[in-house]
Amino acid sequence: MNRAIGTRIDRCGVGMILMISLLLGVVVARVVQLQLAPDPRLMTYVGDHSAGQIVPALRGDVVDRRGRLLASTRFGSRAFVDPLRLPDPPDEVIVELARIVDRDPGPIGRRIADAISHNRRILDARGSALTIGPKTDAQVRAELINIIRARFARSNQPPPHEPPDPTPALRRYVRVSGVLSDEQIAAVRAIDAPGVHLERATVREYTAAHLAASIVGKVGFDGGGLLGAELLMDDTLVGIDGRVRYVRDAYGRPLWIEVGDYVPADPGRDVQLSIDIELQRIAADELNRGVERADAAGGRLVMLDPDSGQILAMVDVVRDLPDAVPFQWEDRDSPRRRSAQSLRQRYITLRPDPARDIHPALARNRCVEDVYEPGSTFKAIVWASITDLDLADPNELIKTHSGAWRTPYGRRVEDVNNHEQLTWFDVLVKSSNIGMSKVAARADFRQLHDAVRRFGFGRKTGIGLPGETAGIVTRLGDWTQWTQTSVSFGYEVAVTPVQMVRAYAAFARPGDRAGTIPERLDLVASPDSPRPRDIRVLSPEVARLTRDAMLEVGRRLDQTIRTFHYDDQPFSYTLFGKSGTARIPLGAPPKGTRAPPGYQGYFQHQYTTSFIAGAPADEPRIIVIVIIDDPGPALVRANRYYGSHVAGPIVRRVVERSLAYMGVEPSPGMGLATN
């Protein structure tokens, strides 16, 4: 009897074990089925129980040559909404968000409404009984239990394999703001409605955007370099994003992170520019002041360290001129008659640059992108090249015909000053067009063409800024007698300011390096960067002789400043330099048009004036060039629009303040300037 009872108990135990095992097997099978082919109504809530997230890398900082911060990255917050969890209707939330982020609620509402409609269509296609809108945890839990019970009631067998659901994914993310302030973040957090969230975002901040925007540049919406040094050094500045993967619950909340599932971000490396932001401030201050004084359309300034080839400052100023009007071209087929335009009318001479009004970093950098005819500042290049070819001696007397002369091929050449004759040395000091064109004619076309090219004109400086132009040098095959004469005094050649300061490095370098220019210009001051190779363009002796001639030009500039600019302080440093004044070319006429009578390829009474100098003259530390675009009509009428009157005083003030800031000892015999 006892044996029978024991046998029955054993059988019951085995049966219970088998039943429990079977139930466990069913549960396991069901779990597998739910993972592989869940009911469509569960798709909103189930899925992979792990989630990943990108850990954004901070972009490297941009600093000036002394380590002062110019651009940096920090983390901020942006607002976004989950349309699936927003109240129904979401109007009040949309209006409140728009108020907080200071945007029009219309566009925000349309984007959210589109996402809600998109989600409804998907859920309707899945046959889901779920509703769009906020739910409590109890509601979510009850819906899930009901769906599971209904599925178990139909069948304990896993469903046949079905192809992936081609229905588009639900839209759970609509961004409604850019980076928010602390006050805006607090206001968003205070909104008492589900579906409103904040996310971290990187913010690029610029500490001196008003001074160096065109140099430092700007990043795009994706955080990558878009302009300036941000684009030039993007590969260095950009970091490598990290990642984190974690296990989450049914509501998406993180539970834990497995070992090895966190890879930290690798931040970008910092970049040190050659720009000194204090020198940039001095340059911008004086250039703006000079442009206003001259009632000019604009101005450009570049400061170079001639020893290293590094740019120390670069400024570009454009000014609105209410009295300037667009130039009126004539219809090519109209009969020739006296022009209705006044030869004294002031016309717009600068190319349009609408992006400048949007953001200073978007402006065209005219120091590297826009060319101009250099006028007499180019004479130092030609004078030195002719002397280096042994085609003239500094003491040789050149007849200059009291300021008016015709070339053998019939072209009239004039000088501002009426000298009967000048030494070749004084031809450069007194800036004689006649003397330059007569002696330049001794060189053959190839000699002068190659000399111009050797100084770097007609090719880019390698500074790396986007949009840099190579300038214009007439091809040797197109070189004519007219070209030979024009180039000798700075016409029929188009240059950029950065090309000019590089060329003048030949006159500023010491010792055996005199007569060399840097192969390229540098905007980055990294100690790891290789020093630019020196290119010899002149013998050291001729380079120093040319500087001596321009030292006399510097003395004449100081006399002009003392005569016409009474408010300037005493000068502490000697400088050598050269002024230039050139008419502004009209450019090619639009198709089907021509210039009216009286205009022979140039604007009348509108000029580009410039001055370029190295200082201190005995051991130059800087080269500064200033170009003033279209000095005002009052200066033109007073005959004070020349480079020595307009651009020269700006250069002198920049030199004084910059060298004092750099700690350079005053030149012997000079007074002390006030910075």
Q: How far apart are CA 375 and CA 650, in angstroms?
A: 18
What crossing angle do the helices spanning 277-293 and 209-216 adopt, rounded to 10°?
110
Tell me what pLDDT residue 636 has: 94
Token pair of 406, please? 């015709």
Tell me what pLDDT residue 34 has: 58
| Torsional sign, CA 407, 589, 360, 69 | negative
- Which residue ranges make up each domain of the chain? 277-333+347-391+443-661
Q: Which residue has the tokens 């969230």?
A: 197
Tell me what pLDDT residue 155 has: 45
Q: In this predicted model, what pLDDT tens digit does every residue of 125-176 receive, in sequence order?
A: 776 545 555 555 555 455 545 544 554 454 445 444 545 555 577 888 899 8
Q: pTM, whole model, 2 decimals?
A: 0.80
Tell me what pLDDT residue 675 has: 44
Q: Which residue has the tokens 């070209």?
A: 483
Q: How far apart are CA 40 and CA 54, in angstroms?
A: 29
Residues of the chain with pLDDT under 50: 47, 129, 140, 144, 147-148, 151-152, 154-156, 158-160, 162, 673-675
Q: Omega into 570 within 30° of 0, i.e. cis?
A: no
Q: How far apart are CA 294 and CA 626, in angstroms?
A: 13
Q: CB atoms < 10 A from the CB of 132, how many?
A: 21
> Do residues 280 and 481 touch, judged by C-beta distance below 8 A?
no
Task: For the domain covering 277-333+347-391+443-661, report its CATH number.
Answer: 3.40.710.10
Q: Residue 113: exposed, middle, or buried by beta-carbon count in 10 A (0-12, 13-18, 19+)?
A: middle
Tell me what pLDDT residue 137 has: 54
Tell me what pLDDT residue 375 has: 96
Helix residue ranges per DSSP H, 509-642? 540-564, 633-637
* Cα atoms found within 13 Å of the Cα of residue 82, Cβ hemisphere only: 15
* Cα atoms found within 13 Å of the Cα of residue 265, Cβ hemisphere only: 15
Q: Residue 87: exposed, middle, or buried by beta-carbon count in 10 A (0-12, 13-18, 19+)?
A: middle
